[in-house]
Structure 1
Amino acid sequence: MSSIRRTLLAALLGAICLAMAVGAWATYRAARHEADALFDYHLRQLALSVRDQTFLGSAEFLANDENLDYVIRVWDFTGLTLYSSKPHQALPEITQLGYSLADSREGEWRVFATQYQGMTIAVAQPMRVRDRLAADAAWSTLKPFLIVLPVLGALIWGLVGFGLRPLARLAASVQKRTPESLAPVPEVGLPEELRPLVASLNDLLARLDTAFAAQRDFVADAAHELRTPLTALQLQAQLVERAGDEAARAAALDALRQGLGRAAHTVQQLLTLARQEPGAVTAPLLPVELAAVGRAGVVEHAPLAEAKGVDLGLAQADPDLFVRGDADALRILLANLIRNALRHTPSGGRIDVSCLRLDAAVVLRVDDSGPGIPASERERVFDRFYQCPVDAVTGDETGSGLGLAIVRAIAQRHGGEIVLDVAPLGGLRAQLTLPLASSLQSDSH
């Protein structure tokens, strides 16, 4: 499990160590540059001081002194060595006057050579001496920081913990929340960095509270709506028991069957609506040809329309109109719109179903010649269990009040929009607009 404190500690200590390493390297380079300038000056001064010496034409060798870091040699114009210090050290051949770098079997050397009265004077120093002095200078600079590094780590650990205390308090406050206590988290006194998180969290809590409230209202409304048909079923069952003759018993049984049908329809509508709720287990959205959904809906409800004397047909079905959706859910949506139109369209009326392309969208329409819905009621009819007054034209009893709520839930799940308006036939137009998915046509064949 990752830890913000450990991550910050590692990151900060790593950054400090990297900065120290860069600083040590810069110190080393600066010390090396200064050492080069100083030792080059010493080389030149030493060479110039040797020219004042008197050499008798034969080599004079100093005693082997390991503490002497310089090698000095003097040649005459014939190449005869007049003077040499540390003869066991192999001074490289002199190829140029002035300062130069030369290699030998003992490593790299810094050499200064000059000529004076026919003599060549060369002074050399091994470069390892300069490297060692520069490294010692860099280490002297870095060593105090390495000593205080553990103290610095402990200080960072404590300061990071202190800085994370508001986050710990926020976690404790959220942990105390229950489904019954979804009050927003206070933002007073919080650091600026935590406010976007708390704002998002409060938005989530508000949406959860709304969802729970809607769920409670749904359960209460469902219980209320089911109580009436169940009570009616009990009364109808009693009427069956009390029937005095076969005719009365048959009438009571017919009423009982109708009541059972209405109750079963209400329960089925409740289940359908529950399956369309956000977060419910639903089928994946796949390419669906909308015209096929329209034809299937018309064929399915044709017997009921014929029994009522209503002309139900597919007025327009543009080919190759594909949407990404759940085919079963779209069929349920169309079935609810057609049943709603059949319920309110009088005998001799007409219902047209259309599937067409409109700009960059796909439209599914159901137009009827019924009484329609007043403009003031068109938004309210999408509420659960809301029912318009029974119209005087058809005299049909109202439904469960869930059909259009199911339609809106399915439309929202598909990223579409359902709108109610006046139909050209004089009744109600229910229009569903969905995004076009023409690029999916090849995938569906």
Structure 2
Amino acid sequence: MRSIRRNLLVALLGAMFVVMMLGGWATYRAARDEAGVLFDYQLRQIALSLRDQTFQSSAEALVGDESLDYVIRVWDRNGLTMYFSRPHQSWPELTKLGYSSVDTREGEWRVFATQFHGLTIAVAQPMRVRNQLAADAAWSTLKPFFVLLPVLGLFIWVLVGRGLQPLARLARLVQTRTPDSLDSLNEAEVPEEVKPLVYSLNGLLARLKSALDAQRAFVADAAHELRTPLTALQLQVQLVERATSSEDRESALGELKNGLQRTTHAVQQLLTLARQEPGAAEYRFAPVSLAELVRHSVLDHERLAEDRRIDLGVTLADEAAVVSGDADALHILLSNLVGNALRYTPACGRVDVSCALEKGHAFLEVADTGPGIPATEYERVFDRFYRRSGNDGNTGSGLGLSIVRTIADRHGAQVSFLASDSGGLRARVVFPIAEDD
């Protein structure tokens, strides 16, 4: 890509060259018009000065001075040539009085003719002489500019370089920024033309700082959350080693197996959350049937629902509910919602899954008969690793709803919680309608 400095130099010099050419053409036209007025005046003065001359009729024209641009011709009252300064020049036999322009095979001529005592006196000048004089005048005017054009280009190069110094300083300031120092750039020290760029850079630095802070917090929270189950696994391994009877060993192995499952689940949720973050993976958007998604998710969780003695089913599956999204990501979203509902719903409870169209939007809904959560914590539950007090015995990782919110945001959907009709919790995800629908 060409530099701004070089582009400005070429553009400015090109513009100046075009302006000078237009100025030269205007100068040429003005000089030609002024020369025409002056030479017309001279033609008339020469013709009038010849009235006092005596011309004798002669069969052969008199030959004038070849260095004289003007041509003089005199006719008597019978139309016979009495004097012709340039007999070799082509000249029409008849000439009207006053000023006129005559085309001949030798070019265009400017003629002035007058009568005096029966004689017709005509004085002519070739137009090429006038045009040449006008071109010489225009060139004399523009020649200094063309000579100074390289000097002007050098000045433009230096001045543009000085004008672009704020960009160089801005580049140096950006280079000094590190992941540990993402302070905003000073907007007061830059020209007005560069301020939009500085505003954008400051916004980018702020977003980058926020993303890095979130990443550091996520890594710290993940390390903290994984440290507890890993410590528990070590203790459970020690219990297995210390078991003296087969019953104690089986009990310790069962606890170890449950601990491994919880740790594996937490790691899987961490990986899923990392993969759903913007920029981690590219979504492949296509029309997705929410009804089909609901049926598959219910079938996937049927065994878990049976083990927990929970009535899991589909209450509404509108085939018209089609959204534009990534099918795999939406499957993860619904699986987390259904898994959360099954995890918190007590035995003999009920979990209903539905989807439909409503007011120009499509929605997914999962309602349960569990204890629910207070309205004041509807937003807190989306925080990573957040667990409500009193649920310490739950096997959740605290990442499921964070994954749901992340996937919903990337689909332009809204996630909300409401109290279900049965007293539990109702999770609703509202999508925009697919354009192809």
Regarding TM over 0.5, the answer is yes
Q: How big is each residue's C-alpha offset from its partner over 1:215-239, in whole Å with a ceiling of 9 and x where there is no partner? A: 1111111111111111111111122
Residues 73, 85 of structure 2: 8 Å contact kept = yes
Q: Counterpart in 1 of 2:436?
A: 440
Q: Counterpart in 2 of 1:158?
A: 158
Q: Secondary structure at the match of 2:86?
A: coil
- Offset at residue 60 of structure 1 (A): 6.3
Q: Secondary structure at the match of 2:188?
A: coil
Q: Secondary structure at the match of 2:22?
A: helix
Q: Secondary structure at the match of 1:430?
A: strand
- Aligned partners of 1:383 and 1:203: how far apart in 2? 24
Q: Counterpart in 2 of 1:203?
A: 203
Q: How does 1:397-408 map to 2 (within 5 A)?
A: 397-408=394-405
- Aligned partners of 1:66 and 1:58: how far apart in 2? 20
Q: Secondary structure at the match of 1:440?
A: coil
Q: Counterpart in 1 of 2:231?
A: 231
Among 413, 422, 435, the residue aligned to 1:425: 422
Deviating 4+ runs (over 4 angstroms): none
Residue 257 of structure 1 aligns with an amino acid whose one-letter code is: K
Q: Secondary structure at the match of 2:427?
A: strand
Q: After the TM superposition, which of the residue ranges 376-385 and 65-74 deviates more from structure 2?
A: 65-74
- Offset at residue 64 of structure 1 (A): 4.3
Q: How does 1:4-19 map to 2 (within 5 A)?
A: 4-19=4-19
Number of residue equivalences: 437
Change (3 A) 1:387 1:122: same
Q: Counterpart in 1 of 2:57?
A: 57
- Aligned partners of 2:44 and 2:95: how far apart in 1? 17
Q: Secondary structure at the match of 1:193?
A: coil
Q: Counterpart in 2 of 1:358?
A: 358
Residue 440 of structure 1 aligns with an amino acid whose one-letter code is: D
- Aligned partners of 1:341 and 1:94: how far apart in 2? 114
Q: How big is each residue's C-alpha offset from its partner over 1:83-116, in whole Å with a ceiling of 9 and x where there is no partner? A: 1111121123436433222222211111223344
Residue 420 of structure 1 aligns with an amino acid whose one-letter code is: F
- Aligned partners of 1:71 and 1:160: how far apart in 2? 57
Question: Which ranges of structure 2 fall in alignment gaps of 5 or more residues?
Answer: none
Residues 95, 113 of structure 2: 8 Å contact kept = no
- Aligned partners of 1:132 and 1:21: how far apart in 2? 17
RMSD: 1.8
- Aligned partners of 2:150 and 2:229: how far apart in 1? 78
Q: Secondary structure at the match of 2:346?
A: coil
Residue 163 of structure 1 aligns with an amino acid whose one-letter code is: G
Q: Secondary structure at the match of 1:192?
A: coil
Q: After the TM superposition, which of the residue ranges 206-215 and 146-155 deviates more from structure 2?
A: 146-155
Q: Secondary structure at the match of 1:25?
A: helix
Residues 101, 110 of structure 2: 8 Å contact kept = yes
Q: How does 1:26-37 map to 2 (within 5 A)?
A: 26-37=26-37
Question: Which ranges of structure 1 fall in alignment gaps of 5 or more residues?
Answer: none
- Offset at residue 165 of structure 1 (A): 1.4
- Aligned partners of 1:62 and 1:426: how far apart in 2? 129
Residues 61, 82 of structure 2: 8 Å contact kept = no
Task: Determine whether 1:87 maps to 2:80.
Answer: no
Q: Secondary structure at the match of 1:323?
A: strand
Q: Counterpart in 2 of 1:281?
A: 281
Q: Counterpart in 2 of 1:246?
A: 246
Identity %: 63
Q: How does 1:294-313 map to 2 (within 5 A)?
A: 294-313=294-313
Residue 162 of structure 2 aligns with an amino acid whose one-letter code is: F
Q: Counterpart in 1 of 2:340?
A: 340
- Offset at residue 59 of structure 1 (A): 5.1
Residue 55 of structure 2 aligns with an amino acid whose one-letter code is: F
Residue 151 of structure 2 aligns with an amino acid whose one-letter code is: V
Residue 4 of structure 1 aligns with an amino acid whose one-letter code is: I
Q: How does 1:39-58 map to 2 (within 5 A)?
A: 39-58=39-58
- Offset at residue 54 of structure 1 (A): 3.0
Q: Counterpart in 2 of 1:321?
A: 321
Task: Determine whether 1:379 maps to 2:379.
Answer: yes
Residue 204 of structure 1 aligns with an amino acid whose one-letter code is: L
Q: After the TM superposition, which of the residue ranges 223-232 and 99-108 deviates more from structure 2?
A: 99-108
Residues 262, 395 of structure 2: 8 Å contact kept = no
Task: Determine whether 1:212 maps to 2:212.
Answer: yes
Residues 275, 282 of structure 1: 8 Å contact kept = no
- Offset at residue 118 of structure 1 (A): 3.9
- Offset at residue 35 of structure 1 (A): 0.8
Q: Counterpart in 2 of 1:135?
A: 135
Q: Counterpart in 2 of 1:38?
A: 38
- Aligned partners of 2:124 and 2:422: how far apart in 1? 111
Q: After the TM superposition, which of the residue ranges 304-313 and 129-138 deviates more from structure 2?
A: 304-313
